[in-house]
Chain A
Amino acid sequence: MTSVEILLQAVDSLEALQIPYMLVGALSVNNYSFARSTKDADIVVSLMPGQLKELSRSLAPGAIIDAQTQFETATATTKNVVRIPGSEYCIELFRLSNDAHDQERFRRRVRGDLVGHATWFPTAEDVIVWKLRWIASAQRGKDRDDVAAVLASQFNKLDWPYIHRWCDQHGTRALLDEIIATIPPDLLEPETP
């Protein structure tokens, strides 16, 4: 299977099983900015007890869940990695956590379309707010690039009071302003038709 086929099958399985989910990470960044390579599909899921095994079986033929659950320190979420035999592309299943912003971004998720496959994404505002927390915690250059790309692509469509409210709570407002200052100013102006 190609990585695109794996992603589409995962989306179709989640839809068929009626499991609440949304595509996050680089997939959501690509949705709101420009495409960059992504070596795994990050998916937030809200699972009932016992659903993880059922889900992994339907994600792809022979899919294997890593026995080890991992805890992510920046936003207090846990994940399981699903490996697909014969592919280097992985699916990372993040459990919906009790974190206030995780709950809110999941509640606000929006419908998207993957060339005929219906799916769910966080809003552009929530991609920015979430990534800023990662930058504050992990200092990874690619997260900073992701935030700049989403900001530059969506600047005049964003709900700024919402972004500022969460950034103030997370202590990432200065970081947000710092990244905005790196974007060429003409990209922040309203687009002329």
Chain B
Amino acid sequence: MLENHSLPAAVNTELSDVLPIAMAKLDPKGKVLSMNRALQELLTAMNISPETLSKALPQRHRFTLRQALQEGRTEEMDWVHGEHSLHLIFTASADGTSAYLFMIDLTAQEDAKAQLVQSEKMASLGLLVAGLAHEINTPLGAIHSNNDTISRSLDKITQALAAHDFLNSDEKKRVEQLVEILRGVCQNTYLATERLISIVGSLKNFTRVDEADFKKADLHEGIDSTLTIIQHQLKNRIQVEKQYGNIPPVECHPNRLNQVFMNLLINAAQAIPDRGTITIRTARKGDAATISISDTGAGIPPENLTKIFDPGFTTKGVGVGTGLGLSICYKIIEEHNGKIEVESDNSGTTFTITLPVGHGGHAKKVKRG
């Protein structure tokens, strides 16, 4: 049927344009002669013009390319440019007259991998915390109970002192003083263990390793647990104002939502340079619950507002932010069929989460379906 092996140029263009891999034909000097649509789009996204493509490549890649062209070989290399991770395949004809460059954009895969690593980290952290909570609860239980027993014994000693006259008044006074000191110390230990119990309880609440499925949960409980955990980051620097409305239990994955609350609250705390306030508001809007977290920080510059949910985007600098926090929040809220929105000006930033009260997640439907 085929009369001619070479197809018309128009068909070639059409074929290469539907290819999802970015490709270009190069001349022996490495200049782009022609390219398909995927490459045009990729270069636009990367802010590179076809003329400057070879210059944008790192020195060692250009060197490899030149060698491959001279020897008529195929070379593969990885290239990270800005937020883009690319895999390059460069192939030259044996006579060195023509060459092709293929560019595969791995950015999305790399981000997905990073998110997976992050959520695996959170999961193993959860297991670790649950194990630790158990280990802590045994000695804590003993201390808490002993302290109560000591305090009860002191009461009995006081009663015995009042009922009998087996000491002279000076001795009695001295014993009463000692009992008072012990009572004070007991009260102090009581407050200390109560605080420990509440911290361990919050840790257990926060990780909830036993709850892998969607279930109805009190969001205020989750926010309060999260606040206890990040208390040390807020210290006396930041005042937390809670304006809790009347919201019903929400069908959700409590552990995952707590992760969202934690990310947003830590971001809010880091956005406030010196002293300030974080306001947490909850409200019911029809079939949805809204949670908003506002800070009195410096705000997000308008040019960054559209990028903050992108994986890898961070302004916190190396070592402080992974640039994954908000993208994970976005993903988790998406899993709950909810939405997360941001408003910001120079007086602060507000993140607002809207969650459907019932049958939130498609994860559940998949599982039960």
The answer to whether A and B interact is no
A binding-site residues for B, Cβ under 8 Å: none
